[in-house]
Amino acid sequence: MATKPRVIVLGAGIGGLTLALELHRSGIECVVLEAAPQLGALGVGINLLPHATRNLARLGLEDVLAAVAVTTRESAFFNRFGQLIAREPAGRFAGYDWPQFSIHRGDLQQVLLAAVYDRLGPDAVLLDHRGTHVTQDERSATVHVTHRDGSSSTVAGDVVVGADGVHSVVRKQFHSAAAPHYTGYMMWRGTTVWPRFLTGASMVRAGWLTTGKMVIYPIRDDVNARGDQLVNWVAEVEGPIRDARDWNRPGLIEDFIEPFADWTFDWLDVPAMIRAAEEVLEYPMVDQDPLDHWTAGRATLLGDAAHPMVPRGSNGAAQAILDGRVLAACLAESCDPYQALRAYETERLAATSRVVLTNRTNPPDALLREVYERTGDRPFERIGDVISPAEIRRLSESYQVVAGYSHAALTRS
């Protein structure tokens, strides 16, 4: 009788840990290899949209996530003069069966890691295991590993999944190197302890790329005795690329504050919030052209290793989470690794490619572009004279369809 494959997962990020939980739920053995000697709460904030939280809820994680995240009530759009363009409810407030969470990336990773250790055991994640390359034959696949002390080892299984991020060694081994596609905009990110603004659970997109754009939302509640929140913010400014992709590269406020210096609104003092940040990180707004295939024999890709995308639309982590569900289902349905990986790639490659390309041209904040262009970057008297509610709804719903979280898509699946 055929047995289910043993899966080796490279990378203990959001995608790799979610895949481990999905595999365990399907009765499939796996081990996660992580290059770092320890996993801490690194990074800043991300949003988990209903298609992602649905999967995490199926894994029994909704309550523990709700305890550490902010349950988002709305998305709100403003011009750079602080004028409200539109607001739309989010998650359950928009009629979904699942919430939208705004959460610190490190908090999400720690929730996933704790669940993996609890369900799969203390040896499910092997730290200080840096994968260098994969070898395989008709019977197995082997990951070659180095350690901080200079020693090396191997870990063998039936399938290898490269969930090792934008600098994936698995991707580099099986695909020719391609330069990242730079959008022409740099991104600075930070978190600031700040009083509640708007609803206290609003995700704000403001301004436009030509003159500076901000995304702002709280990711932790009640972080001090005053009841302040930890607020995540992202600033996008046009300019030459500054350095290679490194999510943890420090940035300087003076390099990007100028376009936002007069953003002192009655609902938020943006420059003061930026200047109060404890740490600022910079990152180029880059992605890579979609691949024509992810799989090579017994090895495949997942998450940013497969489809690095511009971080707009709150979809990088979500698409990795969706990858994990589909890959685990395909491996559970077929005991033939080759057939399972082909089925996974067939379902997910085209879908994620559409998200990568749409994030370049028509992400959710395309509404800001429309208002910017129609007003000539001037304040308006009435937003209804600039854009109609029907047009706003079409822009929002078109992205939901591409990204896979329209009401119809989640009802069908």
Cα separation, 277 vs 224, whole angstroms: 15
The pLDDT assigned to 366 comes to: 86
Cα separation, 259 vs 326, whole angstroms: 42
Dihedral sign computed on CA atoms, order 118, 57, 310, 168: positive
Cα separation, 71 vs 80, whole angstroms: 26
Cα separation, 43 vs 189, whole angstroms: 9
Residues with Cβ within 8 Å of 324's Cβ and at least 6 positions away in sequence, in order, are 15, 18, 19, 21, 22, 55, 302
Cα separation, 104 vs 232, whole angstroms: 8
Cα separation, 269 vs 317, whole angstroms: 29
Whole-number CA gyration radius for the chain? 21
Looking at residue 61, what DSSP letter applies? -
Pairing of strands 152-157, 141-146: antiparallel
> How much is the pTM?
0.94
Q: Of all residues in the chain, what percent are helix, strand and coil, respectively (each to 5)?
A: 35, 25, 40
**Bridge partners, residue 190, by sequence:** 233, 280
Pairing of strands 74-78, 202-208: parallel
The pLDDT assigned to 234 comes to: 96
Other beta carbons within 10 angstroms of residue 95's beta carbon come to 9
- AA identity, residue 303: G
The SS3 assignment for 302 reads coil
Cα separation, 289 vs 357, whole angstroms: 8
Domain boundaries, given as residue ranges, for the chain? 7-69+98-179+289-361
Cα separation, 246 vs 357, whole angstroms: 22
The SS3 assignment for 76 reads strand
SS (H, E, C) 119-130: HHCCCCEECCCE
- Residue for token pair 């005053």: 226
Q: State the DSSP H helix or E strand holding residue 155, giving kind and residue range, or none if neither.
A: strand 152-157
- AA identity, residue 13: G
Pairing of strands 159-162, 299-301: parallel
Cα separation, 282 vs 373, whole angstroms: 28
Cα separation, 284 vs 108, whole angstroms: 23
The pLDDT assigned to 245 comes to: 67
- pLDDT values of the chain reduced to their tens digit, one per residue, 413 residues: 346 779 999 999 999 999 999 999 999 999 999 999 988 767 789 999 999 999 999 999 999 999 999 999 999 999 999 999 999 999 999 999 999 999 999 999 999 999 999 999 999 999 999 999 999 999 999 999 999 999 999 999 999 999 999 889 999 999 887 778 888 889 999 999 999 999 999 999 999 989 999 999 999 999 999 999 999 999 999 988 876 667 678 899 999 999 999 999 999 999 999 999 988 999 888 888 999 999 999 999 999 999 998 877 678 899 999 999 999 999 999 889 999 999 999 999 999 999 998 888 777 788 999 999 999 999 999 999 999 999 999 988 887 877 777 787 776 55
For domain 7-69+98-179+289-361, give its CATH number from 3.50.50.60, 3.90.1150.110, 3.30.750.200, 3.40.50.720.
Answer: 3.50.50.60
Residues 173 and 160 sit within 8 Å (Cβ to Cβ): no
Q: State the DSSP H helix or E strand holding residue 9, giving kind and residue range, or none if neither.
A: strand 7-10
Q: State the DSSP H helix or E strand holding residue 360, giving kind and residue range, or none if neither.
A: helix 337-361
Residues 100 and 48 sit within 8 Å (Cβ to Cβ): yes
The pLDDT assigned to 1 comes to: 30
* Ramachandran category for residue 315: left, alpha or beta (phi over 0 → left; psi -120 to 50 → alpha): alpha
Residues 73 and 93 sit within 8 Å (Cβ to Cβ): yes
